[in-house]
Amino acid sequence: MENKILIIKELDELGRFPKQFSMRTLSEARKDFVKYLSKKYKISKLEIEKELKTIKEIVWNDADCCFSLRTTSNEIQKEEYIRILRDPNLFNIVAEEFSKKIVGENDNIKAIFLNCCGIFVENHQTASYSLCVNSESGAGKDYIATNILKLFPKEFVESRTRISPTAFTYWHNSKFEPEWDWNGKICYLQDISDEILNCEVFKTMVSEGSYATVVKDQRALDIEIKGKPVIIITTATANPKNEMLRRFPILTLDESINQTKAIMKRQSEMAKIGANPHFEYSEDITNALRYLKGIKVKIPFTDVIVNAYPSEHIIMRTHFQRLLDLIKCSTALHQYQREIDTDGYVIADPKDYDIAITALRQTTQNALMIPLTKKQQKLLELCKKEYKDEWFSAPEIAGKCSFLSQSNIYIYLDKLQELFFDTDSFVEDPEKSKRPIKKYHLKSIISINIPTYEECCKIRIEGSEGNEGIIGIEGIDNSTTTTDENNSYIPTIIGSRSA
């Protein structure tokens, strides 16, 4: 069924075969079309031939020497898929679909799914759609990521449970697969290691570069990376360097007792009733996603939101752009509901900002919006709890820390001290030792509130400067996502997104 839909979609989009196909006879055109589909979707020619025989809507036009589709129920089916994409509640409908296989984690699910929608955005920063799911072993990282990606058409996803740096060098190597392009693809890597994170080819994939140089048989070998995929990785043990943390926002899962109870309850239900179609995803949503096209997006209301975000740390040059690109993700998902300007750009709506901050909140762990791994965050919280206004040494906090060895405590504190700690040296007991001991003290960092679009508008009207809109706002309910239509900019419109 899935292959049949792909074939009909290709015929529908091509209309008449382009010049790359033989047009002299039906058999030659059919042969070229089978070869084209086989290469594009990695389906065997035998399977395609088998499906072609079942598609009654394909007709051969002798006068024009081309294939075409009869106007049949398939057009009605296409309209049904477009109708799904035009539903104003589309984002929540998709999120609800995931609840068939995933318990809880609603905001984390939305964050991962929205990042994946980056495959439909053409004008974005290279590293904006990279995401690291970092939680303890057994928390369900890979289960959640895998089941989110199952809703996407198979041809959109490239997944590996294990991969070595050597294999990475030759995975879809342009020398052997010259037609391969990572654009429009999701690259999902499970349980990634520090070795992969530091692999030159992987760094190139998540950065601005197009070539990586590796050494093979004592010779430098250039590897061309065509296109940039959305990259989703999971890890429990990797400790990324600051360079990679800048490129990979960290998302942590709910490890609470209540979440564990909810999962156990769902497992017991599944065991009691056995296989149930209720827990299977709707094929209509998967097929509808095939009709989303790559688009370029304009955000006309950036002047409303820019002053609501902190600018103290240089990493915001990357993170604010990531917020803008998340807005574009929502616009791309809702492209059949958005307007198009005279330049062909799809225009973002303030509702897209409120959807985007759902993902931003899940990867924002501190007021400076610096990505932290799960253990870095746990260590920072432990320091706040035990030594809120006091100076402390690494050995002192090590005695209270059960999840890191004392040697790792020093490493983690050194990574955190630039942003979160003041340091000084003290001689505690001159009679015992005159050697100074390095001590740490938490800096004063105000808590963060990520404002909705309506709140951004209020900040702008009140004339707040810098990060005053995001830090120190009292009484903001971050669970609401309202839109102030009166403050939205209305661009010059020539039409709306259509099928």
Q: Would you kindly state where each structural domain of the chain is located, as residue ranges?
A: 2-70, 81-279, 295-369+448-496, 374-442
Bridge partners of 493, per DSSP, are 341
317, pLDDT greater than 90: no
pLDDT at 463 over 70: no
Task: Give the mean pLDDT of 80-88.
Answer: 90
Least confident of 3-7, 40-44, 158-162: 3-7
Q: How far apart are CA 219 and CA 212, in angstroms?
A: 13
Instruction: Identify which of 383, 469, 393 has the alpha carbon closest to the alpha carbon of residue 426.
Output: 393
Which residues, 6+ apart, have CB-to-CB distance to 117 below 8 Å?
Answer: 329, 330, 332, 333
pLDDT of residue 98 exceeding 70: yes
Quick one: pLDDT at residue 349? Answer: 94
Residue scoring higher pLDDT (396 or 225):
396
Paired tokens of 248: 């990979």
Distance CA 170, CA 190 (A): 18
Of 425 and 27, more confident? 425
Average pLDDT, stretch 248-274?
84
DSSP 273-333: H-S-GGGSPPHHHHHHHTT---B-EE-TTHHHHGGGS--SSTTHHHHHHHHHHHHHHHHHH
Q: Are the C-beta atoms of residues 169 and 197 closer than 8 Å to each other?
A: no
Whole-angstrom distance, CA of residue 159 vs CA of residue 138? 20
Specify the CATH superfamily of domain 81-279. Answer: P-loop containing nucleotide triphosphate hydrolases (3.40.50.300)
Mean pLDDT of 363-382: 70
Q: Could you tell me the pLDDT band of residue 146, with boundaries at 50, 70 and 90?
A: very high
pLDDT, tens only, 430-440: 666 667 888 88
Ranked by mean pLDDT, which of 234-238, 342-346, 410-414, 466-470 comes out on top? 342-346
What amino acid occupies position 321? Q
DSSP 124: -
Max mean pLDDT among 101-115, 160-174, 229-243, 380-394 falls in 101-115
- CB 362, CB 131: distance < 8 Å: no
Q: Mean pLDDT over all residues of the chain?
A: 75
Q: Which fold has domain 2-70?
A: Arc Repressor Mutant, subunit A (1.10.10)
Handedness of CA 231, 236, 238, 243 (dihedral sign): positive
- Give 196 or 112, the one with higher predicted confidence: 112
pLDDT at residue 136 tops 80: no
pLDDT band at 396 (very low <50, low <70, confident <90, very high): confident
Q: Which fold has domain 374-442?
A: Arc Repressor Mutant, subunit A (1.10.10)
What is the average pLDDT across 283-310? 88
pLDDT in the model for residue 340? 92
Q: What percent of the chain has pLDDT over 70?
A: 69
How would residue 410 be classed by pLDDT, with cut points 50, 70 and 90? confident
Q: Is the pLDDT of residue 132 over 80?
A: yes
Please report the pLDDT score of residue 339 as a whole number. 92
pLDDT of res. 499: 47
Looking at per-residue pLDDT, the higher value among 137 and 89 belongs to 89
Is pLDDT at 73 greater than 70 in this prediction? no
Domain 2-70 identical in fold to domain 374-442: yes
pLDDT at 325 over 90: yes
Q: Which DSSP symbol is given to 387?
A: -
Dihedral of CA 148/240/228/205: which sign? negative
Question: Residue 469: pLDDT above 50?
Answer: no
Q: What is the pLDDT of residue 352?
A: 95
Confidence of residue 475 (pLDDT cuts 50, 70, 90): very low
| Model pTM score | 0.68
Calpha distance 186→113 (Å, rounded): 11
The most confident of the ranges 55-64, 110-119, 388-397, 430-439 is: 110-119
